Chains A and B, each alone.
Chain A
Amino acid sequence: MSDTATAPHRALGLTDAEYELIVEKLGREPNAVELSMFSLMWSEHCAYKHSKKLLHQLPTEGPYLLMGPGENAGAVDVGDGLAIAFKVESHNHPSAVEPFQGAATGVGGILRDVFAVGARPIAVLDSLRFGELDSARSRYLLEHAVGGIGHYGNSIGVPTIGGELYFEGPYEQNCLVNAMALGIAQHERLTRSAATGPGNALILFGALTGRDGIGGASVLASAELGESDADKRPTVQIGDPFAEKKLMECSLELLDRELLVSLQDLGAAGLTSSSSEMASKGGLGLDIHVDRVPLREPGMEPFEIMVSESQERMLCVVEPARVDEVLAVCAKWETTATAIGEVTDSGRLRVLSGGDVVGDMPVEALVDDCPLYDLAPEKPSAPIYPAPRRILDTDEPAAILPALLGSWNLADRRPVFEQYDCLVQSRTVRRPDDADAAVLMLPAAADGTHPAIAVSIDGSGRRVACDPYRGTVEAVLECAANLACVGAAPLGLTNCLNFGNPEKPHIAWQLSESVRGMADACRALDVPVVGGNVSLYNEGPEGPIYPTPVVGMVGRLPDAARAGRLGFAVEGDAIAFAGPFTPSLPGSELAKLRGEPLPDGLPEVDVAAVRKAQEVVREAVRRGELRSAHDVAEGGLAVALAECCIGGGHGAAVDFRGAGAAGERLLETLFGEGAGGFVLSGPRPALAALAREINLTFVGEVAGEQLTLTLDDDARLSWPLAELRAARARGIADALDS
């Protein structure tokens, strides 16, 4: 007999020990329905078996925090009785299989999480990582993932206002697609998902239920599924943004009319996870009648109905007296709605079909009793990742700057973000490329000014591979720096941790160190974590991805009219470098293009000094004293200067004397990376005033149509803006057009 036949639990990803525990909790062997449900609820994706203990380190309290981790999305107070709900989630594995639908359904899923808490979605951001763009596969994934995000976000009327995009060898076989969404709600509208009130009705509304995503659980199918039955086992989930638009309007109207006791969206593990989590949070039980679930496919078995991942569905709990009104609202929005069960006080999740109980499990066993594992971290004794491929053959700064600007990690992202509607809902004050963070206005205050929120999504892979602790601290600092450059103070953070197989000691080490770094950085900045997501096992035969924590931060600024910009704007403005910035080449983009192996460790960061610099820059932006502010990131100072010139359409004359006229020290000064650096421009007296509070050096002025750097010994580097713009323009565009 096959292993599968004797031990189906193994085929479903459960260990023998886990199976024994299930038997103990049930007091008997589980049947097929129960086994499939346990296998999902106790999977890494749902139970966070290898990461939950680590995540407890993260700070989850703060003065503006309204809803922390554990609900569908977290939420922060943005003043005037308004809340912003937000979260980031990964959809990595589905996107590697079918990038358009994988990315689209990733957006769909995160949007549902946001309106499930009662917030109207107002923005999407995405963090994408693929292999190098000279691979046909990576070009294919890029094109289709971007297409999918645009298709879903544009169709549903939610603007995609920001994102990040990187290309590194280790993502070739395991791409990363992380989607973040934000929503707005009055405080009182924020909705929790706990099922309460025994006797209340459980209503499923949205799309019909089919066999989407059943995949592995099909080993339990009582019918033999042979080759010709492949169409019975779709593993790709297809998203329908039109259905979700109706679902969203329907859900928000139901909440506006106060018709619901609680609301939950259906995501990974479908009805199983949504229903058990609702029951768990309420400390109650649920009876689900699968024969009442409206189906898209005939003849679905109870376990299939419980594990289906068909998209665009929600669950709500409704008092019996209000069920008819709920059904009427759903009918208005052309959304199928069916009462499929009841809340009970049994503490058990029961699955019924035609009156028969086909599954009966304690809720606690499903949701809370999954064993959590300690990691066994061990710092690797040898490098895990090969050195990046050498692309650059020159040491001449004159050639290096255009090469960096044209490299895939730095090139113009316009061909990507122009595929996204960034304007719908009329809130967008800073569009992609205008500034370091996206800015959305909030309703006007009494005096007519509009406060605004700022949001940025920033992750790091290669530098976290160099130093998981410091690399992660840098990523959190960079996100906060981006907010500072538009004048926003951070209110909360969401994170997605993308890592390899945590059962391997070196990956466990990466994960532990990264979470430790995130916790320390968040505490140092006083930014709480409102929620997030973990994606593990991102590795293949060629090895693991770079350890990639992705951070999304939301902040607030008091006056949208004063939101910062990154481009040099006025001839004659002074230019200054500010902050505790210490450039270093190892682990930088230049080092990557030169094919240098990853260093073991990154330089220390003075987090307190960086925080201070961010505050000073933020306040100066708020006072309207700066014409531009730009965080120094990949490519160092020279690239940041070029971006300010290109962004504003003005050249600059900048003094770099003191670093030599040639050689490594000059390259380090121009292209070295690290946290805490800002390029500022504006009237000289305003910048001078900042020098009292932070390191600030005047380095030149906005002038003409060239970027000119003066070096030692009367040496000069000069590039016409047109040349720099052209160098930057083709990198991504060429890959998408080929």
Chain B
Amino acid sequence: MRFGVLRFPGTCDEVDAQLACERVGEAAILWHGDTDLQGVDAIVVPGGFSYGDYLRVGAIARFAPIMESVIAFAREGGPVLGICNGFQVLCEAGLLPGALLPNKTLRFVCRQVDLVVEHADTIFTNACAEEERLSIPAKHTTGCWYAPPELAEQVEANGQVLLRYAPGESFNGSLGDVAGVRNEAGNVFGLMPHPEHAVDPLTGSTDGLKLFQSIANHVGAHV
């Protein structure tokens, strides 16, 4: 199975994401200016500061040529994982519900946080158990997930919240402690914490690997 990891000007965590993907499959870096997805089975939109976070986080990256292909890929049901800045880009692109606002503390925070798996029967969490706790680092300034009341209700009612910060763990003030949401169709998922930084016992927890494994499992089962 092959992952495609996007790289925009200002992206920082794409190599880390590629390394994580390579633990469960193969991974290629896809340049923002190209439109060819090179036949990959899943897309990862990684973390960083694409376009310097100018104008609004993710606002400019979402118009990159590669994103046109990613949007088409998603519309056809292809799995797309957005991490941190990637989550922000996918929200701006309309592939995920809601938007990310500045942390309630207004500061960048880098901290290991506990997440709770709300649904384990999905493309992105099938290697986890429901209610399982994952220890994964979060590092961002603009990670407070928000949706207007009606949309937020719908998202919750549809079971689109896949990961929540464990009680007391969120530092950004996300509505409902939402850490990661999927789209209605279930093939696009975005989260603020960085699973790619929790895959190597030498650097800390390996709980993040489960998300990548889940995607590989899904692709493997649907060949």
Instruction: Name A's B-contacting residues (CB within 8 A).
Output: 147, 150-151, 154-157, 240-243, 245-246, 333-334, 417-429, 431, 441, 450, 560-561
Residue of B nearest to A444 (CB): B202
If A423-B203, A428-B203 touch, does A154 touch B197 (CB 8 Å cutoff)? no
Is there contact, CB below 8 Å, between B15 and A425? Answer: yes
Residues of B4-25 whose CB lies within 8 A of A: 9-13, 15-16, 19
List the B side residues contacting A425 at CB < 8 Å.
15-16
Is there contact, CB below 8 Å, between A334 and B202? Answer: no
Is there contact, CB below 8 Å, between A560 and B202? Answer: yes
Given the complex of chains A and B, what is the CA–CA distance between A422 and B139 in angstroms? 9
Given the complex of chains A and B, what is the CA–CA distance between A155 and B84 in angstroms? 13
Partner of B110, one of A156, A422, A429, A450: A422
Is there contact, CB below 8 Å, between B48 and A333? Answer: no
Stretch at the interface among B49-57, B124-132, B158-166: B49-57
List the B side residues contacting A441 at CB < 8 Å.
202-203
Residues of B103-123 whose CB lies within 8 A of A: 107-111
List the A side residues contacting B204 at CB < 8 Å.
431
Is there contact, CB below 8 Å, between A245 and B15? Answer: no
Residue of B nearest to A414 (CB): B111
If A155-B49, A242-B10, A426-B200 touch, does A418 touch B111 (CB 8 Å cutoff)? yes
List the A side residues contacting B62 at CB < 8 Å.
none
Partner of A420, one of B19, B53, B110, B194: B110
Shortest CB–CB separation between residue B21 and chain A, in angstroms?
A: 12
Given the complex of chains A and B, what is the CA–CA distance between A419 and B48 in angstroms? 15
Is there contact, CB below 8 Å, between A246 and B108? Answer: no
Residues of B42-70 whose CB lies within 8 A of A: 48-49, 51-54
Is there contact, CB below 8 Å, between B110 and A245? Answer: no
Asked if B137 lies at the interface with its beta carbon under 8 angstroms from chain A, I say: yes
Given the complex of chains A and B, what is the CA–CA distance between A384 and B112 in angstroms? 46
Is there contact, CB below 8 Å, between A450 and B202? Answer: yes
List the B side residues contacting A561 at CB < 8 Å.
202
List the B side residues contacting A245 at CB < 8 Å.
9-10, 12, 49
List the A side residues contacting B111 at CB < 8 Å.
418
Given the complex of chains A and B, what is the CA–CA distance between A155 and B54 in angstroms? 12
List the A side residues contacting B9 at CB < 8 Å.
242, 245-246, 333-334
Is there contact, CB below 8 Å, between A426 and B51? Answer: no
With contacts A242-B52, A426-B16 known, what are 5 further pairs, Cβ within 8 A? A154-B108, A240-B52, A421-B108, A424-B13, A427-B203
Given the complex of chains A and B, what is the CA–CA distance between A415 and B169 in angstroms? 16
List the A side residues contacting B200 at CB < 8 Å.
426
Residue of B nearest to A561 (CB): B202
Is there contact, CB below 8 Å, between B10 and A421? Answer: no
Shortest CB–CB separation between residue A396 and chain B, in angstroms?
A: 35
Partner of B203, one of A147, A154, A333, A429: A429
Shortest CB–CB separation between residue A33 and chain B, in angstroms?
A: 34
Is there contact, CB below 8 Å, between B49 and A424? Answer: no
If A245-B10, A424-B16 touch, does A155 touch B52 (CB 8 Å cutoff)? yes
If A242-B9, A245-B9, A334-B9 touch, does A418 touch B202 (CB 8 Å cutoff)? no
18 contacts between A and B (CB under 8 A): A154-B49, A154-B108, A241-B52, A242-B54, A333-B9, A417-B110, A421-B110, A422-B110, A423-B110, A423-B137, A424-B197, A426-B15, A426-B19, A426-B203, A427-B203, A431-B204, A441-B203, A560-B202
Given the complex of chains A and B, what is the CA–CA distance between A151 and B108 in angstroms? 8
Residue of B nearest to A150 (CB): B108
Is there contact, CB below 8 Å, between A424 and B12? Answer: yes
List the A side residues contacting B107 at CB < 8 Å.
147, 419
Given the complex of chains A and B, what is the CA–CA distance between A154 and B11 in angstroms? 11
List the B side residues contacting A246 at CB < 8 Å.
9-10
List the A side residues contacting B13 at CB < 8 Å.
157, 424
Shortest CB–CB separation between residue B24 and chain A, in angstroms?
A: 15
Is there contact, CB below 8 Å, between B197 and A426? Answer: yes
Is there contact, CB below 8 Å, between B12 and A156? Answer: yes
Shortest CB–CB separation between residue A698 and chain B, in angstroms?
A: 32
Shortest CB–CB separation between residue A360 and chain B, in angstroms?
A: 40
List the B side residues contacting A427 at CB < 8 Å.
203
List the A side residues contacting B15 at CB < 8 Å.
425-426
Most B CB atoms within 10 A — which of A150, A157, A243, A431? Answer: A157
Given the complex of chains A and B, what is the CA–CA distance between A155 and B194 in angstroms? 16
List the A side residues contacting B54 at CB < 8 Å.
242
Shortest CB–CB separation between residue B42 and chain A, in angstroms?
A: 20
List the A side residues contacting B203 at CB < 8 Å.
423, 426-429, 441
* Shortest Cβ-Cβ A-B pairs, 5 listed: A157-B12, A242-B52, A155-B49, A426-B16, A423-B197
List the A side residues contacting B48 at CB < 8 Å.
157
Most A CB atoms within 10 A — which of B15, B19, B110, B203? Answer: B110
Given the complex of chains A and B, what is the CA–CA distance between A245 and B109 in angstroms? 21
Shortest CB–CB separation between residue B33 and chain A, in angstroms?
A: 8
Residue of A nearest to B18 (CB): A426
Contact with A along B190-210 (1 / 0, CB 8 A): 000010110010111000000
List the B side residues contacting A157 at CB < 8 Å.
11-13, 48-49
